[in-house]
Structures are given as C-alpha cells and as structure tokens.
Amino acid sequence: MEEQLQKVLNNISFSVNAQKQTMDLTALPHGETTPISFHMNYKLVENGDETEIFVQNIASDRLWVDEILKMWLEKSNFQYKIPQNIAGIVKIFLK
C-alpha cells in the first residue's frame, strides 16, 4: 500500500495536533500541478486492551474531493482498530 501511494503522490506533508485531535495532509498527486490538502478530525477510543481511531470529519480544499469525502463518511463510519503492537506508539502521537 505504501509503495502504491508513493507512486501516485509527491511532496507529502503530514501534521497532527493531538490536543485538538486533528490531522492535516497535503500531497501533490502525480500529474497534478497543485497540491490537495485534507483536514481531519479524529477521536481515539480505548476499550480495554483495544484502541480505535474514528474519523469524525474530513474535508479537502478541492470541492469535488470534498464532496466525495462527505459522501464516503456518510455511508461508512470510518473506524480503524489499531494493532496492539503499535497502539502505544500511536497514542503517544495522537493523544
């Protein structure tokens, strides 16, 4: 997956504000002349030994991408169970 992303995206910038629980990503897709920016609000939930991340909102600076993201979030409740072997490290950066 990482190799596939590297083939289609250049100049990736990624930042996290754990206090506000937001992430920002800017990438220049291959063949494009201007980068696309994404802003995401997330929630980190611990349930016993399990840690999950929920995407609560995601937006883009491109109208057509923003509309696709909104439709995607409305239809699927994006949540991802973080594997236990990396949950501690992830919590350091996202909490």
User: Which are the contacts of 16, defined by CB distance < 8 A and separation ≥ 6?
Assistant: 22, 23, 24, 93, 94
Across the range 50-58, mean pLDDT stands at 89
pLDDT for the residue numbered 3: 61
Task: Indicate the pTM of the whole model.
Answer: 0.73
Cα gap 95→90, rounded to integer Å: 8
Cα gap 66→51, rounded to integer Å: 28
Nearest to 95 by CA among 15, 17, 14: 17
pLDDT for the residue numbered 59: 92
Convert the pLDDT of each residue in 3-30 to its tens digit.
Answer: 655 556 666 788 999 999 999 999 888 7
Sheet containing 79-82: which strands, arranged edge to edge? 9-17, 22-29, 36-47, 50-60, 79-82
- What is the rounded average pLDDT for all residues in the chain? 84
Q: Place 81 in a pLDDT band, splitting at 50, 70 and 90.
A: confident
In total, the chain counts a number of residues equal to 95
